[in-house]
Amino acid sequence: MIQLFQQRDFGDKINATFTYLTQQFRSLSLALLYIAGPVALASGIMAGVIQSNILEFSRPSDEAAGSFRLIGLTSMIFSPVFWLMVLASVLANLMVALITYAHLKLYERTKGGPITVADVWTEVQPVLGRGLIISVLGSIITFIGFLFFFIPGIYVAVVFSLALAVTSFEGTDFGQTWDRCFRLIREKWWSTFGLLVVMGIIVGIIGLLFSMPSTIIGGLVAADLLPDLSRVWVVVANVISTVGQALLNSLVFLAVGFQYTNLVERQEGRGLLSAIDSIGTSPAQPRANDEGDF
């Protein structure tokens, strides 16, 4: 079993992320597919419809029709379907994060025991509304920081990357989460930033595999090399890209989860206190077994 609340260096956090994913792949992937999958699927379908319409308007045509094509394209991008797609995408990403942290909580609580989809959904439900509010307010504050002061925007974005982990594990509201994030990340901002960059690169590279069908189809249609391509295939390609990317984001959230538990352990020694409390109540286990093979 992997001990969650444990001090880890940079490499250990990445290793723990992939070790956890390997050990818990089935239960975590099922929870993601059953709970977040439908929302990601809806987002992918709407993205496919929008892209197919854009590609249709982008086909070569006579110059006189150019202005009408531009008007149609603009109205299509800002149609209700577009905003519904954005909302579904945001909700899918939020649910992936909350599912990942709920899975980590259950893993800690059950000491690595079996975790079902129903268990994860029970954990996610009370946090969903609070998580949405925290995400929206955090995004607004981060956007303002980027808009007026680029560097402070980056700083706040990294600090607030811990927000959903904090509210999932500790049940905090927005104000408490904001304060907790700043206290936890004190003197560890750069390691958190580096972890996000590395995991972002890894997820981005793997995500190319899922986005490749959509990119290839879009390029061929735009070049008028597939004039009779069915809209269905564009939608299918976008579904693969959207659902795949949403599920891949769980890797980033897992890494952030291990960073959160690392920071809590460094400041509060929660894992050490738990080990001390368990002395005499359960058989002692070698520390190497608790940590896993990193």
Half-sphere exposure of 51 (CA within 13 A, CB side): 30
Above pLDDT 90, what percent of the chain?
A: 49
Query: What angle (nearest 5°) sits at the alpha carbon of residue 78, between those of residues 214 and 75?
Result: 100
Residue in the structure block whose two tokens are 């531009």: 70
Q: Helices 80-109 and 37-57 sit at what angle, rounded to 10 degrees?
A: 150
Residue 121's nearest CA partner among 105, 137, 108 is: 105
Q: What are phi and psi of 282, to 5 degrees?
A: -150, 155
Least confident of 5-9, 83-87, 228-232, 267-271: 228-232
Residue 5's nearest CA partner among 255, 274, 196, 262 is: 262
Q: What are phi and psi of 283, to 5 degrees?
A: -60, 135
Q: Helices 231-268 and 270-277 sit at what angle, rounded to 10 degrees?
A: 70
Give me the mean pLDDT over the 136-156 stretch: 87
Give pLDDT tens digits for 22-78. Answer: 999 999 999 999 999 999 999 888 888 877 777 666 555 544 444 545 555 566 666
175 vs 48, which has greater pLDDT?
Answer: 175
Tokens of 68: 């009408």
118, 143, 188 from 147: Cα distances, Å: 41, 6, 25
Least confident of 139-148, 231-240, 284-293: 284-293
* Beta-bridge mates of residue 279: 282
Q: CB of 88 within 8 A of CB of 46?
A: yes
Taking only Cα atoms into account, the Rg of the chain, rounded to an integer number of angstroms, comes to 22
- pLDDT at residue 169 tops 90: yes
- pLDDT at residue 152 tops 70: yes
Number of other residues whose CB lies within 10 A of the CB of residue 193: 17
147 vs 166, which has greater pLDDT?
Answer: 166
The answer for residues whose C-beta is within 8 angstroms of residue 47's C-beta and 6 or more apart is 85, 89, 238, 241, 242
Burial class (CB in 10 A: 0-12, 13-18, 19+), 200: middle
Residue in the structure block whose two tokens are 């390997």: 22
- CA–CA distance, 245 with 226 (Å, rounded to integer): 26
Buried b vs exposed e over 224-255: b needs ≥16 C-beta within 10 Å?
eebeeeeeebbbbbbbbbbbbbbbbbbbbbbb
40, 45, 217, 223 from 234: Cα distances, Å: 16, 9, 7, 15
Give pLDDT tens digits for 216-252. Answer: 876 776 666 665 566 777 788 888 888 888 889 999 9
